[in-house]
A and B are shown apart, each in its own frame.
Chain A
């Protein structure tokens, strides 16, 4: 478990690697999992932890119906793809 590389820099673990890859523009857990040689489930688990730590936040995708100007005439529900879009709350080198 030697993550200290001797140059005064603590090596990154998987959690930090995930954050770094998102920061570098990887868009999907599949891409990240492939690069880290792990499973999509593990990457998604790490993302949940990073969310919990405040490094990533989920984007609310749809407009709130209450603020929609058509709320009085619209009984419908907007079409929203069931994706979870997450963004970094701040950089890795916070």
Chain B
């Protein structure tokens, strides 16, 4: 005897798979639905000596023809002749779930069982559902379940068995629409009555789908009844929409939802739900005033954490590279090779690599905030600010991405609809300090300010402020209307340490990779330039000549020729600023390098250098990304603009600071 077929339908994430597994155990087969790459899961269960084939349909919110999943589910329900349909309904979101139920009922299916899952969670949320009353209101059996615990599965099997044997009579409730809409349904139904389509599909369902301009049903009408008939029906629908002033599908969907809303009052009530921790936290974290205070405090803690734990580790690494250089030096007889390896490679690359702990800890902190759900709150807070400064709210995502790396951040501006918005977002994105700039900021703040987290936070805030003001300026020239959108916030979720460490390692691995490639090559070049044609000190080395070329300009902001060489090499990769200083100071690293710089520069000069490095120009990869996403002119405009802003700010800070006696 052929197995009876049970179709398992429901919204995504309602526990359908859990129910499928609980019903079928290990007796499952996974394949694809014919012609599409949608997974088809089938399984078998036995009850009272009879075997049932369970077909797990793709999770859908409705049965329109907008997605392949919906189409697959709909076609199976229409043409697969299931003996029983189990519609899984999430008890914590009944209103949304019953929309699909109503669509199933409208298809004329009668052998439907509602598997009311997550009843335990609903109770916790204060949602009270009476399954008996629900069953009466819907006209089909309702089986309460807690599939995770396996509760209710045996009752469900029994109900399926009873329904398959015709022991349960059902009378599914059909959504009723306003008289005018019902009249339209009736009119279309009459047009289709007596045709071959009416024999194969429920007339009311066909009429509703046509009113909703369902592509697949329109194709059916065209194929079976011809173009003339379809045109006649669609003309009528067009006239109706003209009268109502909006699309019929929205009117029908809206009224179906209202019908469900009314229906749920018969069996569902809301007790006093406990306010969740997320709700309580959100009242502060997305508050227009407290939210920003909290955000400043959170990011202060991030920098405090990075510096407090990172600086000692950085010192250890730095010391290790120094000792390594000292150990290597006596083993190399050739002076040039020794200079290249010890001062150039070990000094240059080592000075950058020693910042790995800081970069790792920053990513650890940011990953924690991201997985926790806090970065989403930051996005929400900043969204309003962005709009005030002429940026589309959606641009907050690329800006946050920029904290990691500006290249993917520039590419993420593709998510903005308007070309003008994209250009503005791309223009200001390179101002956001990426992780490479963090190492330079950490180095200079560590050297000149004892690793004060407030100074680092001030530089980041300054960079954000410059980005916003630049957006305000640029958006005046490239204005555009923002298209509407909505942002949903996730629940707060305590991340697992394992995933945090893994994410942070994956993200900071790039830093190590870069040290072994771009920084290594850069260090070798800088070492060559500082030792040829004659060693530094005579003013004749290539590096000194290069530095002296830009020195008059940098003097305006209190910086010398060494800063000039460092900033030039920083264009390749920002970390080169540190490695260049290391090589220019004869391969010094760590504390020795800091001491040498402190004797040559004041804290004010250190601060100016940190600000200028953060803002002066995007790295080559970012310039390339801007060019790829826009054009050369825009990439050039960004570069020139950034150099101008960084110079003006550098000059301003230097002169104001000097006047204040700093």
List CB contacts (< 8 Å) of B361-382 with chain A. 366-367, 370-371, 373, 375-376, 378-380
Q: Is the CB of B397 within 8 A of A63?
A: no
A-B contact pairs, 24 of them (CB 8 A): A1-B259, A3-B255, A12-B254, A15-B257, A16-B254, A27-B487, A30-B286, A42-B96, A53-B66, A56-B486, A60-B415, A62-B408, A70-B510, A70-B621, A73-B514, A76-B510, A77-B503, A78-B401, A78-B409, A79-B367, A88-B483, A92-B246, A92-B250, A94-B250
Q: Are B411 and A68 in contact (CB under 8 A)?
A: yes
Whole-angstrom distance between the alpha carbons of A68 and B405 in the complex? 11
12 additional A-B pairs beyond A29-B489, A53-B250, beta carbons within 8 Å, are: A1-B262, A3-B255, A15-B250, A19-B250, A45-B93, A47-B488, A69-B625, A78-B412, A82-B373, A84-B490, A88-B484, A94-B246
Instruction: Report the bound CA distance from A82 to B367 in whole Å.
Output: 11
**Across the two chains, which residue of chain A brings its CB closest to B176?**
A1
> Contact check: which of B247, B249, B484 meets A25 at CB < 8 Å?
B484
Instruction: Let me know if B393 and A74 touch, CB within 8 A.
Output: no
The residues of A with any CB-CB pair to B shorter than 8 Å are 1-4, 8-10, 12-16, 19, 22-30, 32, 41-42, 44-49, 51-56, 59-63, 67-70, 73-88, 92-94
Note all chain A residues with C-beta closer than 8 A to B403.
Answer: 79
From B56-64, B540-548, B553-561, the one touching the partner chain is B56-64
CA distance A56 to B66 in the complex (A): 12
Q: Please tell me if the beta carbons of B621 and A86 are within 8 angstroms of each other in the complex.
A: no
A69 with B487: in contact, given A27-B383, A49-B62, A75-B509 (CB under 8 Å)? Answer: no
Proximity string of chain B (4-20) to chain A, C-beta cutoff 8 Å, 1 when within and 0 when not: 00000001000000000
Q: Are B64 and A53 in contact (CB under 8 A)?
A: yes
Given contacts A27-B485, A47-B488, A82-B370, contact A94 B247 (CB under 8 A): yes
Please judge, given known A-B contacts A27-B393, A76-B508, whether A70 and B407 are in contact too, CB under 8 Å: yes
**Cβ–Cβ < 8 Å partners of A3 in chain B:** 178, 255, 258
Given contacts A49-B257, A76-B510, contact A82 B61 (CB under 8 A): no
Q: Is A53 touching B253 in the complex (CB atoms < 8 A)?
A: yes
A94–B206 Cα distance when bound, in Å, is: 22
**A86 and B178 in contact, given A45-B96, A61-B397, A73-B510 (Cβ under 8 angstroms):** no
Q: Does B587 contact A (CB under 8 A)?
A: no
Residues of A within 8 A of B506 (CB): 75-77
Main secondary structure of the interface of A (DSSP, over half): loop
User: Which residue of A has the minimal Cβ distance to B384?
Assistant: A27
Kindly provide the distance from the CB of B490 to the nearest chain A CB, expressed in whole angstroms. 5
Q: Which single residue of chain B is at the shortest CB-CB distance from A17?
A: B254
Question: Is B236's CB within 8 Å of the partner chain A?
Answer: no
B404 in contact with A93 (CB, 8 Å)? no
Among B249, B250, B370, B503: residue with most chain A CB under 10 A = B250
B253 engages A49 (CB within 8 Å): yes
Counting from the closest, the 4 A-B pairs by CB-CB distance are A45-B96, A52-B61, A63-B411, A81-B375
Check if A63 sits within 8 Å of B408, measured CB to CB: yes
Contact, CB under 8 Å: B180 / A48: no
Q: With a CB–CB cut-off of 8 A, which chain A residues contact B61?
A: 48-49, 51-52
- Interface assignment of B70: CB less than 8 Å from any CB of chain A: yes
Given A46-B96, A53-B62, A83 and B484 contact (CB-CB distance below 8 Å): no
Closest residue of B by beta carbon distance from A74: B510
Residue of A nearest to B502 (CB): A77
Residues of the B chain whose Cβ atoms lie less than 8 Å from the Cβ of A69: 407, 621, 624-625, 628
CB-CB < 8 A to B373: which residues of A? 82
Determine how close the nearest CB of chain B comes to the CB of A2; give it in whole angstroms: 8
